[in-house]
Amino acid sequence: MAQPPIPLTNLTLLQRGKSQSTWFLLRRLFRGYLRSHISGFVTATLFMALTASMTGAAAQIIAPITDQLGKPHSEMHMLMLGAAVMMIFFLRGVGGYFHTIIMNRIGQRIVTDVQQQMYRHLMTSDLAFFHANSSGQLISRLTNDVNVMRQAVGECMTSTLKGGLTLIFLVGVMFYQNWHLALGAFAVFPVSAYFVMRVGKRMRKLSASMQTENGNYSSLLNQTFQGIRHVKAYGMEGLEDSRVHDVTEKVFRLNVKSFHVSALMNPMAEILSGLAIATVFTYCDWQVAQGTLTTGGVYSFVMAFILAYDPMKRTSKVNAQFQAGLAAAERVFALLDVEPTIVDKPVAKSLDVTDYSVRLDDVVFRYADGTEALHHLSIEVPHGKTVAIVGPSGAGKSTIINLIPRFYDVQEGRIMIGGVDVRDITLASLRSKIALVSQETALFDDTVRANIAYGKPDATFDEIETAAVAAFADTFIRGLPQGYDTIVGEHGVKLSGGQRQRIAIARAMLRNAPILLLDEATSALDNESERAVQAALKRLQQGRTTIVVAHRLSTIVDADQIVVLERGSVVEQGAHTELLARRGVYARLYGLQAELH
């Protein structure tokens, strides 16, 4: 049964691993996201082809028009040419409108799908994953990277396809008018393609570094805003300011650098096309003198060349954006590729017992970094009874609480509920039987009412109120400015510690689960609130299998069993009076605390 600890590299998103090949990323994008939009894609491409062919036609029609000028011709003929020109531009506009809106929709849809998929994936990820990655970094991937992808997908698909198609038609016109000339004009093409590729590679690297720095930036902001009280209390404003200064300066330098790289493409393109145009004119002069080319043909050719210049010039810009998009896609995929380890077994069953006893059986547990938190630990909590766990800080008390809802899996031994190994139960049914009141702040930035109903969104107001009354929270809630509709602020900042806890208790009441896990629910309270919370907890514990972790021993004297934990092992176990009589660790701890109070 023994499993090696999960290597940390599986959990931590690689800051910058080996870069994936462009083809690999494109194939994955296509298979995962584009395929389902194929019909829209084809329609948009048809409209693009219409626009592109009309651009070609616009260049082509210059030849007959120019050749008519100054020569005898019928009015009718000229009118028809005029009508044709109007038609060409009308169709070009219509095609442009439709392909733009269709492609934009597809692009937005794909990125929204990616975003939703990322969040869904994160929700199934292990707790250990969230501990290994800062929330700022994760937020940055879901926002910054997704936005870079959004721009890239929309822009690149349209520009590449449309530019490509337009080039095909224009090059067609050029070859039709004079293929010698066309070959000459395109001699510069491989040279510029080489530069575009070089610049693209550089851009991808720069963009990846930029996104990493953006992640660091979000992470920093997130941390300082969350800990703003401590930043101020310890006078660390200056230090935090200089940290943010450094990161933003880095982003600035990377931005400037990437702009320099992409701006370099412009003069390159100018010089190359200057060369091409000069060649074309010299050669045209000669061809017209020879009679192989009419003046109209020259105009038409030059028109096509000038029109082709724009999509060619844009290639470098689009390529830069494309590379940035690929770098972002790589980071997004890295997040999607982290597989959760805590998942339902294929044969997992829904928890269907009447006996909700909890048993830890010879449990060994190590955190990902190798810290052995529990060392061959066995604890039994009979159905409906309360077991209290006490012991010094770092003994492994919270760890035990974390193992029961399978936030982590044990490496050795097993945890059973009503005789069933928790790993054989579906996560959803396991967790639906557990109410947790933990050491962490547990409130969301929402109304009191929504916070109480968090584990049971369909609860009626009556049920919410009953839970609040039972948790001794109703009175203070009614005293809040908007009563049950008061917004509590992020992590409940607008409430006192005791009020926060009573709301958390009311939530657990409403959840009405047969197993109750309490982690130091009373640590932050003064005597009076503590009495209220204690009374609330006692009510909550009735008839439920309860594991309670408490630092204040006075609060757990009437637990059915008290387990004294030290460095991950049970050192003493028994009822309060038994343990006192034994005059061991517990008696000493209790004596110390009694002196303090």
Residues that bind ligand ATP (CB under 6 A): 131, 367, 369, 371, 373, 393-399
If DSSP states are collapsed to H, E and C, what string results for 133-168? CCHHHHHHHHHHHHHHHHHHHHHHHHHHHHHHHHHH
User: Using CA atoms, how far apart are residues 176 and 96, in angstroms rounded to an integer?
Assistant: 25
Contact 356, 417 (CB under 8 A): yes
17 makes contact, choosing from Mg ion, ligand ATP, none, with CB < 5 to 8 Å by partner type, with none
Rounded Cα gap, residues 190 and 53, in angstroms: 24
**Shortest spacing between CB 396 and Mg ion, in angstroms:** 8
Tokens in use for 492? 């409940």
Residue 262 binding result from ligand ATP, Mg ion, none, given CB thresholds of 5 to 8 Å by partner type: none
Among ligand ATP, Mg ion, none, residue 283 binds (CB under 5-8 Å by kind)? none
Smaller CB separation from ligand ATP, 88 or 563: 563
Nearest distance, CB of residue 506 and ligand ATP, angstroms: 23
Min dist CB 416 to ligand ATP, Å, is 20
Q: CB of 533: closest distance to ligand ATP in angstroms?
A: 18
- 397/431 with CB nearer ligand ATP: 397
Residue 285, contacted partner among Mg ion, ligand ATP, none, CB below 5-8 A by kind: none
Are 557 and 538 contacting, i.e. CB atoms less than 8 angstroms apart?
A: no
Here the tokens at position 244 are 């943010």
- Residue 396, binding choice from ligand ATP, Mg ion, none, Cβ under 5 to 8 Å by partner class: ligand ATP
Closest-CA residue to 340 (of 126, 132, 123): 126
Nearer to ligand ATP, 305 or 365 (CB): 365
Q: From the CB of residue 595, how many other CB atoms can be counted at a distance below 10 Å?
A: 7
Q: Which residues bind Mg ion (CB under 5 A)?
A: 398
Q: Which does 115 bind (CB under 5 to 8 A by kind): Mg ion, ligand ATP, none?
A: none
C-alpha span between 480 and 83 (Å, rounded): 74
Q: What angle do CA 535, 541, 546 make, to 5 degrees?
A: 135
- Residue in the block written with tokens 């009718």: 76
Q: Which residue is nearest to Mg ion (CB)?
A: 398
Instruction: Pick what 82 binds: ligand ATP, Mg ion, none; C-beta below 5 to 8 Å, kind-dependent.
Output: none
Of 465, 207, 441, 196, residue with least CA distance to 312: 196
CB atoms within 10 A of CB 112: 12
Shortest Cβ 167–ligand ATP spacing (Å): 56
Nearer to ligand ATP, 258 or 399 (CB): 399
Q: Of Mg ion, ligand ATP, none, which one sits near residue 178, judging by CB under 5 to 8 A according to partner kind?
A: none
Could you give the CA distance from residue 440 to residue 446 in angstroms, rounded to a whole number? 17
| Residue 214: closest CA among 290, 102, 289, 138 | 138
Q: Which does 159 bind (CB under 5 to 8 A by kind): Mg ion, ligand ATP, none?
A: none
CB of 388 to ligand ATP, least distance (A): 13
446: its two tokens: 């929402």
Q: In the bound complex, what is the minimum distance in angstroms from residue 131's beta carbon to ligand ATP?
A: 5
Q: How many CA atoms lie within 13 A of 401 on its CB side?
A: 25
CB of 558 to Mg ion, least distance (A): 22
In whole angstroms, the minimum distance from the beta carbon of 12 to ligand ATP comes to 13
Least CB distance to ligand ATP at residue 485 (A) = 34
- The item of Mg ion, ligand ATP, none sharing an interface with residue 195, based on CB under 5 to 8 Å by kind, is none
Angle formed by the axes of helices 22-29 and 295-336, nearest 10° = 80
Q: What DSSP designation does 440 have?
A: S
In angstroms, what is the minimal distance from the CB of 395 to ligand ATP?
4
Pick 158 or 398: Cβ nearer Mg ion? 398
The SS3 call for residue 232 is: helix
Q: Which is nearer to ligand ATP, 285 or 369 (CB)?
A: 369
Nearer to ligand ATP, 250 or 551 (CB): 551
- Residue whose CB is less far from Mg ion, 338 or 388: 388
Give the nearest distance from C-beta 159 to ligand ATP in angstroms.
47
Give burial (CB, 10 Å; 0-12/13-18/19+) of 288.
middle
**For ligand ATP, which is the closer residue by CB, 223 or 429?**
223
In this structure, what token pair is assigned to residue 199? Answer: 């610049």
Cα angle 117-119-120, degrees, rounded to a multiple of 5: 65
- Return d(Cα 319, Cα 196) in angstroms, integer: 7
Of 108, 142, 144, 140, residue with least CA distance to 33: 108
CA distances from 557 to 575, 584, 585, 589, 590 (A): 8, 16, 15, 13, 10
Taking a C-beta distance cutoff of 8 angstroms, is the pair 508, 540 a contact? yes
* Nearest residue (CB) to ligand ATP, 100 versus 411: 411
